[in-house]
Amino acid sequence: MKFFKAFYIHNTFFRYIAFLAACFVISYWIPQLYPIGWLLLFVLIGLFLFDLYILFSSLDGITASRTLPQKLSNSDYNTLYVRLKSNYAFKAGVSVIDELPVQFQKRDFIHQVHLIRGETHEFDYAVRPVERGEYVFGNLNIYVSSPLRIIKRRYVFQKNQMVPVYPSIIQMQQYDFLAINNHLNELGLKKIRRIGHTQEFEQIKEYIKGDDIRTINWKATAKKNQLMVNQYQDEKSQPIYSIIDTGRVMKMPFNGLKLLDYAINATLAFSNVALKRNDKTGMITFSKKIETFVPAIQKISHLNTILEKLYNITTEFTDSDFGLLYAHIKRKVNQRSLLLLYTNFEHISALRRQLPFLLAIAKKHVLVVIFFENTELESLIATDAEDLQTIYHKTIAEKFSLEKRLMQKELQQYGIQTILTKPESLTINTINKYLEIKARGLI
């Protein structure tokens, strides 16, 4: 039974059969060709048996392996590797069919190559998951044929490999690498001039032209007999919380990725940057209830805790309770903190319903409300109107787009920091706002 599962007829074999059948049909009118037809039939049977022998006489004619990372990165292109080696004495035709996880909905994967004896072939391909969870790779199927191309032998390797898809680790590492090498401006991060100074002392140094004369240290000046000034640095170990709304408003997809996943990816990348800058980072998720609360801690290892919590977040088809969020923050977050609230408002009336709770939170903390532009509306607005229906659609789209900007202005009038961003620019804009707030000494 196992033999028959590994045995397949090659497409070329049916051409041989068609040619043989044609010979027998022609021999009906030309009897002299009748013996030739039988001769060809016996030759074909002999070739069939010979092909069967050379393919199945070796137990390990082909070896193959699929190399997967320990974790796949959501919304990024992840590279996977396949390695083949032929042990056949002849030049083998090899077809590789990898059974990709059902989440990718891809059923046409095939890679073909010819291998001589002892030759090793490696190739890679990329997959882009758009949701978190467990992805199961099925069989790595290898189909081998000899130069006769009559039958094919099937080899199966690495059945049912499971790989978890986590929030965008690649994006987090990308920003981390660029931050170390001072090339963040290449990704759109701004260099913001610091306004004033904090009161966290760093060192005493000699006065140079341009230093703030208010920072002159008169005792050190008297001892050194030259002007000395105090130098201050950004305050560190400040608590920063990423608050993710997991209600129905975060279910909206853009480019195959839900708004929730954009917020999750941004939270991971931002938390890494904040920890590297010696601030404390924490996380809250909520909808009808507080689902996750991770206290702000200043440890690089704390990032793994945040990553594991982000992995398990799901959205609910419910309206989120901002009153509950306010009560929880009042009870659990006692120190003045920077709160980054990832949510979305499609109508100004929805914002005004939650505005009293946002104002109550902003009285004690620095609150940044982050919501999203509808990029589908922007593309509709940019199209040319050719009929009355298109004009109507464009007018409605412009109305909704204007409401987004009005919501941003209204929050700013009440002293609440805002980010209105395209989903794909969320991470950059969040880190920029963090650097701006730190530079202005708002926290």
Rg (CA), the chain: 33
d(CA 39, CA 37): 5
With bands split at pLDDT 50, 70 and 90, how would you rate the model's confidence at 67? very high
d(CA 432, CA 33): 84
Closest by CA position to 266, among listed 174, 354, 380: 174
With bands split at pLDDT 50, 70 and 90, how would you rate the model's confidence at 173? confident
CB 100 within 8 A of CB 80: no
Q: Is the pLDDT of residue 196 over 50?
A: no
With bands split at pLDDT 50, 70 and 90, how would you rate the model's confidence at 1? very low
Average pLDDT, integer, range 241-254: 92
For residues 26 and 318, which has the higher predicted lDDT (pLDDT)? 318
DSSP state of 237: S
Give the other-Cβ count within 10 Å of 345's Cβ: 21
Give the other-Cβ count within 10 Å of 60's Cβ: 9
With bands split at pLDDT 50, 70 and 90, how would you rate the model's confidence at 339? very high
For residues 317 and 92, which has the higher predicted lDDT (pLDDT)? 92
Average pLDDT, integer, range 354-378: 91
State percent of the chain over pLDDT 70.
85
Q: Is the pLDDT of residue 203 over 80?
A: no
d(CA 173, CA 217): 42
pLDDT at 14: 65
Closest by CA position to 422, among listed 398, 395, 404: 404
Go through the domains of the chain in sequence order and give each one's CATH number.
1-166 (2.60.40.10), 169-192+235-440 (3.40.50.410), 200-233 (no CATH)
For residues 360 and 176, which has the higher predicted lDDT (pLDDT)? 360
With bands split at pLDDT 50, 70 and 90, how would you rate the model's confidence at 4? very low
CA distances from 216 to 3, 83, 270, 280 (A): 88, 67, 36, 31
Tell me, what amino acid is at 39?
A: L
* pLDDT, tens digit, 9 for 90 and up, residues 275-309: 888 889 999 999 999 999 999 998 888 999 999 99
Q: Is the pLDDT of residue 178 over 80?
A: no
Q: Is the pLDDT of residue 154 over 80?
A: yes
> Ranked by mean pLDDT, which of 141-145, 224-228, 401-405 comes out on top?
141-145
Q: Rounded mean pLDDT of the chain?
A: 84
Q: Is the pLDDT of residue 68 over 50?
A: yes
CB 178 within 8 A of CB 422: no
Residue 152's SS3 state is: strand
Q: Is the pLDDT of residue 379 over 70?
A: yes
Q: Is the pLDDT of residue 189 over 60?
A: no
Q: Is the pLDDT of residue 74 over 50?
A: yes
| Cβ neighbours for 53, distance < 8 A, ≥ 6 positions apart | none
Average pLDDT, integer, range 303-322: 88
Task: Look at strands 280-286 and 239-245 and give their pairing.
Answer: parallel
Degrees to nearest 5, angle at CA 443 with 189 and 404 = 60
Buried b or exposed e, range 292-322, using 16+ CB within 10 angstroms: ebbebeeeeebbebbbebbbebebeeeebbb
Helices then strands, counting H and E runs in the chain, come out as: 12, 21
With bands split at pLDDT 50, 70 and 90, how would you rate the model's confidence at 6? low
Buried b or exposed e, range 381-412, using 16+ CB within 10 angstroms: eeeeeeeeeeeebbeebeeebebbeebbeebe
Degrees to nearest 5, angle at CA 260 with 340 and 368 = 15
Tell me, what amino acid is at 264?
A: I
Q: Is the pLDDT of residue 197 over 70?
A: no
| pTM listed for this prediction | 0.78
Average pLDDT, integer, range 209-238: 76
pLDDT at 162: 92
